[in-house]
Amino acid sequence: MNRTEALEIVRKHLKLSRYEHTIRVTDTAVDLAEYYGQPIDKIELAAILHDYAKYRDKNEMRRWIETSNLPKDLLQYHSELWHGPVGALLVKFEVGIEDQLILDAIHCHTTGKAHMNMMEKIIFLADYIEPGRDFPGLDTVRIQAKKDLDYACFLALKNTIDHLVIQEQLIYPDALHAYNDLLRKIKVGE
């Protein structure tokens, strides 16, 4: 599936502003993939499809979580987190993408997870730093994105976790595991 075909598929499922975000995420992900010598075609496809389920009905997403092998604890957290894991399933069943690397990158693009591979880090970070976003701490993460991918992902997670703590919101465990994993790598240099 090429870029044009994939964009046509997601366009039907997204509001215009989210579709434009998707294009910016895709361009950012391709740029990072080129910089880090990663497979552009797969990363581009994962980036295009990362928000496939963003506007699905919450009850439909709840049913997918309840009836699939997705972690049931997702239901205890904000529904904003559901679109990544559910989106990975829907991309597999509705779009026909079988590549597990692509599906995993879609799955964890919002929270991250421990031991992320390069594709997962690039999609996670591209979604966070795409040029349409603007919030405190973002410029530092953008600078680090082309210096140290692990450190950039760590900073993105730190900013997100700090924000959630200030807002007194629950933090999904995968985000904490990703933060801890990246902190260990940064501190120990693994």
| DSSP structure class, residue 93 | I
Percent of the chain topping pLDDT 90: 97
- Segments making up each domain of the chain, as ranges: 3-135
The identity of residue 110, as a single letter, is T
- On the question of pLDDT at 40 being above 90, the answer is yes
Q: Tell me what pLDDT residue 96 has.
A: 97
State the chain's mean pLDDT as an integer: 96
Write out pLDDT tens, residues 104-136: 999 999 999 999 999 999 999 999 999 999 998
Q: Tell me what pLDDT residue 70 has.
A: 96
Summarize the confidence of residues 47-54 as an average pLDDT.
98
The identity of residue 79, as a single letter, is S
3-state helix, strand, coil in the chain (%, to 5): 70, 0, 30
Could you give the C-alpha distances from 139 to 125, 142, 143, in angstroms and in order?
A: 13, 5, 6
Quick one: pLDDT band at residue 189, thresholds 50, 70, 90?
low
Superfamily in which the 3-135 domain is placed by CATH: Hypothetical protein af1432 (1.10.3210.10)
- On the question of pLDDT at 138 being above 90, the answer is yes
- On the question of pLDDT at 190 being above 80, the answer is no
CB atoms within 10 A of CB 114: 15
| DSSP structure class, residue 69 | S
Q: Tell me what pLDDT residue 188 has.
A: 79
Summarize the confidence of residues 75-89 as an average pLDDT.
97
Cα 104 to the chain's mean position, in Å? Answer: 9
Is 91 within 8 Å of 48 (Cβ atoms)?
no
Summarize the confidence of residues 2-14 as an average pLDDT.
96
Nearest CA to 111 out of 147, 161, 76, 39 is that of 161
